[in-house]
Structure 1
Amino acid sequence: MKIHDLITETAPLAELCTRLAQSDFVCVDTEFMRENTFWPELCLIQIGNEEEAAAIDPMAPGIDLAPLLDLMCNNEDVLKIFHAGGQDVEIIFNLTGKTPHPIFDTQIAMMAISQNEQIGYANLVESWLGLTIDKGARFTDWGRRPLSERQIEYAIGDVTHLAKIFPKILKRLIKTGRGEWLDAEMEKLADPANYRTDPDTAWQRIRSAGRNPQVLGRLKALAAWREQEAQHKNIPRGRIMRDETLADIASHPPKSQADLAKVRGLSNAWKDNDIGKRLLKVLEKAEPMPADELPARERRGAPLGKEGALVADLLKLLLKIRSREIDVASRLLTRTDELELLAAGVRDLPMLQGWRFEVFGREALELVEGKLAFAVQRGKLLMTHIDTVHAQMREAQGEAAE
């Protein structure tokens, strides 16, 4: 594989992207800093295929990333490969308003061919290539220039290794017939809605009990205000105010600015400073949330009770057994809250639809309906159908009678 020198100019970047546009896939990774900023600060982009790879310096004076971003977001013929790519996709979305497409995430793919829920990149490389990655450069300051050769070598390794691993994962997916399991998961990753920072919807990320319109109206207004403050100052939203503090103020609004000093999570300065004044104005203008904006009521079946809780525990055991048997991450099949809803009588669930129903949902439903049982054979816990057990018992009784 050819490894290029660090690209700092537009012309070689455009030439590289022209060649990569002829590939079936490209592997992509980024290095960024966001500890002290609202927007992630892009410091390095790595891209490559099976033949060549390069690191691109987006901070280089005069460089135009348009050829790269065009390849990422407008070329549907090239599959873009990431590992745990959510934050990488977010950065590209911030630059273009679009997400890379089509997209493939090896961390998500591993859930379909192993029991790994969130395998890290180092473990991925070790398991597929038998290589140990030097993690020393991982937490370096990627914004400082010049970058060292060690940093660049480490960064490019993220895509050169991925270019070797992806075909192996794809081959395994084809062999197991599980590629279609991932289609919806990859589309979720590429959904632009995941990366929009709309102040009017910022409240939806904050945990708040209940559906009180007055409380939620204040929560929405405060969350939008905090989002705008953080974006304007380009600092993390938590530097303005933590989620718990914001939710507490929405539930128990202070009567005056002086009362802000009594709020847990705020400093004494809030009772006098300008940001405290702005917060009070937001609270004064907050309107109750309209009924059509209230969050949907949580889906619940009948109260579980002791017997229902036992059924839910059996479903969790079934999930462990099934995921072990077919070597798939249990989180890809269903979630714990879905199992509890099934035990409570709810049937409109993802696990009871499509491939999930065939792989797991059918047996989960049979367990709830009393058609499936657990058995121990040769010291191993297995699932068995009640009808099969009864047939075996009748057969055994018949042989004994003879």
Structure 2
Amino acid sequence: MKIHPLITTTDALAELCDRLAKADFICVDTEFMRESTYWPELCLIQIADEHEAAAVDPMASGLDLSPLLDLLVDNEDVLKVFHAGGQDVEIIYNLTGKTPHPIFDTQIAMMAVSQSEQIGYSNLVESWLGFSIDKGARFTDWSRRPLDARQLEYAIGDVTHLAKIFPRLLKRLIKTGRGEWLDAEMEKLADPENYRNDPNKAWERIRASGRNPAMLGRLRALAAWREYEAQDKNIPRGRIARDETLADIASHPPKAQADLGKVRGLSAGWKENEIGRRMMATLANAKPLTDEELPPRTPRGAPLGKEGALVADLLKLLLKIRAREIDVASRLLARSDDLELLAAGVRKNLALLEGWRFEQFGRDALELVEGKLAFAVLGGRLKMTHIDEIHEEMGARRAADDAAEVDADPADEHRGPGIAVSIEE
């Protein structure tokens, strides 16, 4: 594979993108810094197909990224391959208002051909290519210039290795017939709604107990205010105030700005500074949530009770068995929240009861809840089977034992061929 020198000019970038636009797929990775900023600071973009690779310096003076961004978000003929690409896609969305499409994520794909939930890139390379990556440059400051040869070699490796792995992984998916399992997952990754930052929805990410409309209205207002403050200063939102601090203030609003100096998580200066005044104005203007805006009464993890919790535990055991049997990540088959909802009696709008998930796991999950499926220890191995099959097998074994002319330990007459547990309606 040809490795180009660091690209720092628009002409060189345009020439590279013209060639890559003819490829079936391109592998993409980014290096960025966001520890001290609200918006991630893009420091390097790596891109490769099967024949050539390059790193692009977005910090280079006069460089126009348009040729590359057009390739990523407007060219529908080229598949864009990432590994754990959520943050990379977010950066591209911030720059263009669009997401790369079509898209493929090797971390997600590995869930369909192995039991790896979130395989890291270094483990992916070791698994498929048989060598370890030098991680010495992993925690480098990518914003510093100039970048040295070791940094560039490390960065380029993120796409050159991926360009070798992706075709092999794709062949595995085709051979197993599991490619269609991933279609919806890849579309979710490419959904712009995942990356659209609406300050008025920021409160939904903050844990707060209760459904008091006035309290939640204050929390919504405070969370949106914090987003605007952080964006304006380009600093992490936590530098303005932590989540738990906002939740505390929303639950117990101070009567006057002077009281802010007593709030845990805020400095004494808030009782008289400008940001404290802006927070108090936000609280004063906050409006309670309407009935339509309130979160649903039944949380995502439905209350189960003791018996329901036991059913959920058995469903999770069933999930582990099935994931092991077909060598797939259990999280791709079903989420814990959905299992708890199924145990609580919910039968609608559950992904595990639709499409390929129903065929691979959902049908068995329903039959377990309905008392038609059981766990058994047969031949020293835990498996799942239908109740009637267990009865048939136990009867056959008893008949064989009765017919055999062997001396038996007296205790054996109380020992069955397996242990089964079922759930009756």
Q: TM-score, normalised by structure 2?
A: 0.92
Counterpart in the other structure of 2:78: 78
Distance 1:185 1:209 in 2: 31
1:86–1:189 CA contact under 8 A, matched in 2: yes
Counterpart in the other structure of 2:392: 391
1:46–1:55 CA contact under 8 A, matched in 2: yes
Report the alpha carbon displacement of residue 201 of structure 1 after superposing the two structures with TM.
Answer: 1.6
Counterpart in the other structure of 1:110: 110
2:301–2:337 CA contact under 8 A, matched in 1: no
Counterpart in the other structure of 2:183: 183
1:301–1:345 CA contact under 8 A, matched in 2: no
Alignment partner of 1:210: what SS? coil
Distance 1:282 1:164 in 2: 53
Distance 1:169 1:98 in 2: 27
Deviation sequence 1:111-167 (CA, Å, 0-9, x none)? 111111111000000000011111110111100111101111110000000000001
Report the alpha carbon displacement of residue 399 of structure 1 after superposing the two structures with TM.
Answer: 5.9
Alignment partner of 2:29: what SS? strand
Select between 309-318 and 321-330 the one with higher mean Cα deviation. Answer: 309-318
1:302–1:345 CA contact under 8 A, matched in 2: no
Distance 2:300 2:105 in 1: 33
Report the alpha carbon displacement of residue 344 of structure 1 after superposing the two structures with TM.
Answer: 1.5
Alignment partner of 2:54: what SS? strand
Report the alpha carbon displacement of residue 298 of structure 1 after superposing the two structures with TM.
Answer: 2.4
Alignment of structure 1 residues 44-193 onto 2, 5 Å = 44-193=44-193
1:300–1:346 CA contact under 8 A, matched in 2: no
Report the alpha carbon displacement of residue 206 of structure 1 after superposing the two structures with TM.
Answer: 1.4
Letter in 2 for 1:387: D
Counterpart in the other structure of 2:230: 230
Distance 2:269 2:306 in 1: 51
Alignment partner of 2:136: what SS? helix
Distance 1:190 1:351 in 2: 22
1:300–1:344 CA contact under 8 A, matched in 2: no
Alignment partner of 1:98: what SS? coil
Select between 263-272 and 161-170 the one with higher mean Cα deviation. Answer: 263-272
Unaligned runs of 5+ in 2: 404-425
Select between 332-341 and 93-102 the one with higher mean Cα deviation. Answer: 332-341
Alignment partner of 1:30: what SS? strand
2:300–2:337 CA contact under 8 A, matched in 1: no
Which structure has the larger Rg over C-alpha atoms? 2
Number of matched residues? 402
Report the alpha carbon displacement of residue 305 of structure 1 after superposing the two structures with TM.
Answer: 3.0
Deviation sequence 1:249-297 (CA, Å, 0-9, x none)? 1111111111111111111111111100100000001111122222233
Deviation sequence 1:197-221 (CA, Å, 0-9, x none)? 2212211221222222111111111
Deviation sequence 1:345-374 (CA, Å, 0-9, x none)? 111221111111110111111111111111
Change (3 A) 1:303 1:265: closer
Distance 1:199 1:359 in 2: 39
Distance 2:191 2:166 in 1: 22
Deviation sequence 1:77-128 (CA, Å, 0-9, x none)? 0000000001100100010000000000001111111111111000000000
Counterpart in the other structure of 2:358: 357
Report the alpha carbon displacement of residue 389 of structure 1 after superposing the two structures with TM.
Answer: 1.6
Counterpart in the other structure of 1:382: 383
Distance 1:366 1:216 in 2: 41
Alignment of structure 1 residues 255-274 onto 2, 5 Å = 255-274=255-274
Alignment partner of 1:104: what SS? strand
Letter in 2 for 1:8: T
Counterpart in the other structure of 1:30: 30
Unaligned runs of 5+ in 1: none
Aligned CA-pair RMSD? 1.5
Alignment partner of 1:376: what SS? strand
Select between 192-201 and 159-168 the one with higher mean Cα deviation. Answer: 192-201
Select between 97-106 and 197-206 the one with higher mean Cα deviation. Answer: 197-206
Letter in 1 for 2:375: F
Distance 2:384 2:183 in 1: 29
2:107–2:119 CA contact under 8 A, matched in 1: yes
Alignment partner of 1:137: what SS? coil
1:21 aligns with 2:21: yes
Distance 1:36 1:200 in 2: 23
Counterpart in the other structure of 1:307: 307
1:201 aligns with 2:186: no
Alignment partner of 1:218: what SS? helix
Change (3 A) 1:394 1:47: same
Distance 1:49 1:16 in 2: 11
Deviation sequence 1:9-38 (CA, Å, 0-9, x none)? 000100000000000100000000100000
Letter in 1 for 2:321: I
1:8–1:56 CA contact under 8 A, matched in 2: yes
Report the alpha carbon displacement of residue 302 of structure 1 after superposing the two structures with TM.
Answer: 8.3
Counterpart in the other structure of 2:329: 329
Distance 2:2 2:31 in 1: 21
Distance 1:300 1:238 in 2: 26
Alignment partner of 2:352: what SS? helix
Change (3 A) 1:303 1:140: closer
Distance 1:7 1:279 in 2: 45
Alignment partner of 2:292: what SS? helix
